[in-house]
Structure 1
Amino acid sequence: MRDLPSIQTLRAFEAAARHENYSMAGDELGVTHSAVSHRIRELEERLEIKLFHRIGHRMTLTREAVTLLAQVRQALVILRMAFPDAPEQSQATLVVSVHPALATKWLIPRLGAFTKLFGNTVLEIRSTAELQDFLAPGIDVSIRYGVGAWPNAAGERMTGDVLFPVCSPAYRDQHNLQQPSDLARCRLLRHAWQQWSPWLRAANLTLREPNGGMTLSDTAMLLEAAVAGEGVALAGKIFASADLKSGRLVRLFDVEIEDAYAYYVVWRAGTSLTPLGEAFRLWVRDQFAI
């Protein structure tokens, strides 16, 4: 059997496909433009196919190369996970975009688990709530919460969630909250994305959707307002779990509803995840399953 292509050749092909530019691929790998070109030509001669078409300043993949790229990325992910301390990965960088609230309440507390698996990876977290920014140039992968349909984006659903009321222990005791109807004498904190009405119907309450008081567009701020005793928040289990475990918040009643939104790993449409991006996607899926 013929020897397999070298790791350097496969990494050069993957980087060139991702950047659509030999010079940028060389900058990432610490080699020259001509070195990348040589690696690509070596692979083309070995496979007897053409891998790239030049369109202006871009090097676009041929149809045959698209299939090869998926296979190469899968192989590189397996190698990275099997040899997490390999010297060639010492400068590997992964840029992740995430909503500020999700970063604060979910991702940051779990980064210790990530660094244990990918200790040689330089992880850059870009926190933004703006939809037009979460797939900006330079971002490898994003974690987003929503309906799963964003312009120019591809993605995979990770998990859904359930919603239920939470408040501080002091607020619960002060208002003697024992059953859902007791919410009639409470301030219901509002999130700009989440209405109370579905939960109120599930609890068989005739209360109207609150239209006064406090409205917050960020889930982390919503939960902090509840911790501060400002009222009762409708919270997702994923976001509220740490505060519930620590006792900063308490869950009210047994009634819960399915969240209409879900959590997704997202990347730019028409591209594939980098090997590190793919490994990150698998790690995120595992973390949501815990």
Structure 2
Amino acid sequence: MRQLPPLTAVRVFESAARHENFTKAAAELGMTQAAVSYQIKLLEERLNVSLFRREKRRVALTDPGRRVATEVGRAFDTLDGAFASLRAEDEKALNITTSYTFANTWFAWRLGAFQMANPEMAVRLLTDDGLADFAGEEVDIGVRTGMGEWPGLCADLLFQVFFTPMCSPAFLERHGGSLTPEDLLKVPRIGPEDPWWAVWLRDAGVTIPDETPRGIRLGYQAHEGHAAMAGQGMAMLTPFFWRNDIAEGRLVCPFDQLSSRGWGYWLVYAEQRRNVPKIKRFRDWLLAEVRRDLAALKPMMPASMLEVHRHPSRASAA
């Protein structure tokens, strides 16, 4: 039976010995300098030998530390070679999970650009409104809605979720060319059971009746937006998803009010995989795409619309 010290501590030692610098080791491993120091101390106590001399503003390997560092470095080179083929295979595929709404209103329209820029990689998009298990499923990265708090996952905010009623120009014209918030209780609404309606109407100062609202129920914003473009009613939509349709006149926003429940769309991935090259590459690409579309959306929105009413919620969804 092998009598090995804690492998986490050995991994930290290998990096710290190679750099002879705790700060550089911490940056390489995605740890804090204090965590590196703790793991080195743990290893020294386990071996009952000093591996580093702590000098002013620097560390240096002791003679025993230098001897073992050479052997440990060779061992890690052997391990690196053993797993190299698996890493290469993993880099050839990227599995992304997200919700039906995000996939169909925005993501699927742009994912091809990433694939074209990375032709050696097979990109697979999985749509599921449930939360993916990053530990138990073959998932590399995901996009989720919520408050950004998922244990074990890193979360980068893509954009905050705002919403406002939208309709086709023809629908608005059929109803006099303009509407008041109170009028929304009388005109056909798409997805009237959506809680966003109650939030937006209350923000607009409208008293909501107790009866169950009537209207088309389609379940997904992707369906509701297209139904609105077809003139079937007023839909509660997120302007970010429908930027092109607003710009090209298929949808209009009759009101200068945005509302929010405090949610955002987040890019998520396992903490221990934050430095995997394909994840870093995709993260950089997606953040740049979102920033570009957010910048393009602002000129289309009246200044008053950018003053958002917020209703924080702790709930989250995939």
TM over 0.5, shorter chain:
yes
Tell me the TM-score normalised to structure 1 length.
0.63
Change in Cα spacing, 1:189 to 1:149, as seen in structure 2 (3 Å) is farther
Structure 1 residues 136-173: Cα deviation after superposition (integer angstroms, max 9, x where no partner): 52110001122223455332222113211101222212
Alpha-carbon separation, structure 2, partners of 1:146 and 1:191: 22
The residue aligned with 1:165 is: 165
The residue aligned with 1:71 is: 28
The residue aligned with 1:186 is: 187
How many residues align? The count is 222
Code of the residue aligned with 2:290 in structure 1: it is: F
Q: More deviation in 215-224 or 257-266? A: 215-224
- How many percent identity over aligned positions? 24
Alpha-carbon separation, structure 2, partners of 1:191 and 1:149: 29
Change in Cα spacing, 1:192 to 1:218, as seen in structure 2 (3 Å) is farther
Unaligned runs of 5+ in 2: 16-23, 31-87, 293-318
Change in Cα spacing, 1:244 to 1:61, as seen in structure 2 (3 Å) is farther
Alpha-carbon separation, structure 1, partners of 2:275 and 2:259: 33
2:263 counterpart (238, 261, 264):
261
Change in Cα spacing, 1:174 to 1:260, as seen in structure 2 (3 Å) is same
The residue aligned with 1:211 is: 212
Alpha-carbon separation, structure 2, partners of 1:51 and 1:105: 48
The residue aligned with 2:245 is: 243
Q: More deviation in 264-273 or 106-115? A: 264-273
SS of the residue corresponding to residue 220 of structure 1 reads helix
Change in Cα spacing, 1:232 to 1:128, as seen in structure 2 (3 Å) is same
Change in Cα spacing, 1:185 to 1:177, as seen in structure 2 (3 Å) is farther
SS of the residue corresponding to residue 108 of structure 1 reads helix
Change in Cα spacing, 1:154 to 1:72, as seen in structure 2 (3 Å) is closer
Unaligned runs of 5+ in 1: 1-49, 54-59, 74-87
1:52-63 superposed matches below 5 A: 52=7, 62-63=11-12
**CA RMSD, Structure 1 to Structure 2 (Å):** 3.5
The residue aligned with 1:125 is: 125
Change in Cα spacing, 1:220 to 1:144, as seen in structure 2 (3 Å) is same
The residue aligned with 1:15 is: none
SS of the residue corresponding to residue 104 of structure 2 reads helix
Code of the residue aligned with 1:93 in structure 2: it is: A
Check conservation: 1:52, 1:65, Cα contact below 8 A: no
Alpha-carbon separation, structure 1, partners of 2:209 and 2:28: 54
Structure 1 residues 54-102: Cα deviation after superposition (integer angstroms, max 9, x where no partner): xxxxxx98455798696379xxxxxxxxxxxxxx899622111111221
Change in Cα spacing, 1:124 to 1:103, as seen in structure 2 (3 Å) is same
The residue aligned with 2:53 is: none
Change in Cα spacing, 1:97 to 1:89, as seen in structure 2 (3 Å) is same
1:6-25 superposed matches below 5 A: none
Change in Cα spacing, 1:98 to 1:160, as seen in structure 2 (3 Å) is same
The residue aligned with 1:222 is: 224
SS of the residue corresponding to residue 102 of structure 2 reads helix
